[in-house]
């Protein structure tokens, strides 16, 4: 699939997408979640934008992949249901559907893919901080909340100590 998508992009004079292991991880999590869903003419690449399947445990998927929402906002998640996962039909579901708008967009530079059952999920990434799918670090997410709380506590402690000194 990656080769087919990259051949498609090259034919449009766009750069090839590079594999992104964090996007692969998220694609795997989502493909597993989609696995039990039936293919209909309102799922996958036929979905009307804004009506896509929502997973209440999406934050768990991000956590499993060591990601947080701030690094995935500019990315794009594209599920497709293709009975039997015929390679030519799978590729056509991305290049000849509403998804080709994303594949034609030069701001996407990375890709993750996964399939489960009849479902294929493609995750596109950018090179921006809000779409690069970089792993969460100690400076992001819950760790930063703790860090801010620690600093505030230290400031209050110093202020209290100072108040005792001047009284």
Give the Cβ contact number of residue 154 at 10 Å: 10
The token pair that represents 58 in the structure block:
């999406």
Q: Per-residue pLDDT tens for 72-87?
A: 999 999 999 888 999 9
Phi/psi of residue 127, nearest 5 degrees? -105, 20
Residues recorded for the chain: 167
> Which band of pLDDT confidence, cut at 50, 70 and 90, is reported for residue 25?
very high
Tell which CATH architecture fits domain 2-135. 3-Layer(aba) Sandwich (3.40)
> Which band of pLDDT confidence, cut at 50, 70 and 90, is reported for residue 55?
confident
Whole-number Å distance between alpha carbons of 107 and 26? 20
* pTM score of the predicted model: 0.77
Residues whose CB falls within 8 Å of the CB of residue 121, separated by 6 or more in sequence, listed in order? 27, 28, 30, 31, 34, 77, 78, 79, 80, 113, 114, 115
What's the distance, CA 78 to chain centroid?
10
Q: Per-residue pLDDT tens for 134-144?
A: 987 655 444 44
> 133: buried, middle or exposed (CB in 10 Å: 19+, 13-18, 0-12)?
buried
Lowest mean pLDDT among 2-16, 52-66, 80-94, 111-125: 52-66
What's the distance, CA 58 to chain centroid?
10
């Amino acid at each position: 699939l990656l080769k087919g998508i990259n051949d498609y992009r090259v034919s449009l004079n766009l750069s090839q997408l590079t594999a992104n292991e964090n996007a692969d991880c998220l694609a795997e999590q989502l493909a597993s979640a989609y696995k039990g869903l039936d293919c209909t003419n309102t799922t996958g690449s036929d979905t009307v934008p804004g009506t896509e399947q929502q997973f209440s445990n999406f934050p768990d998927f991000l956590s499993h992949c060591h990601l947080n929402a701030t690094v995935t906002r500019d990315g794009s998640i594209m599920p497709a249901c293709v009975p039997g996962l015929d390679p030519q039909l799978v590729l056509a579901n991305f290049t000849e559907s509403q998804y080709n708008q994303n594949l034609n967009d030069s701001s996407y530079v990375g890709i993750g893919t996964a399939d489960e059952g009849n479902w294929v999920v493609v995750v596109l990434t950018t090179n921006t901080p809000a779409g690069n799918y970089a792993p969460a670090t100690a400076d992001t997410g819950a760790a930063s909340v703790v860090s801010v709380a620690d600093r505030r506590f230290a400031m209050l402690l110093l202020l209290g100590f100072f108040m005792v000194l001047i009284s």
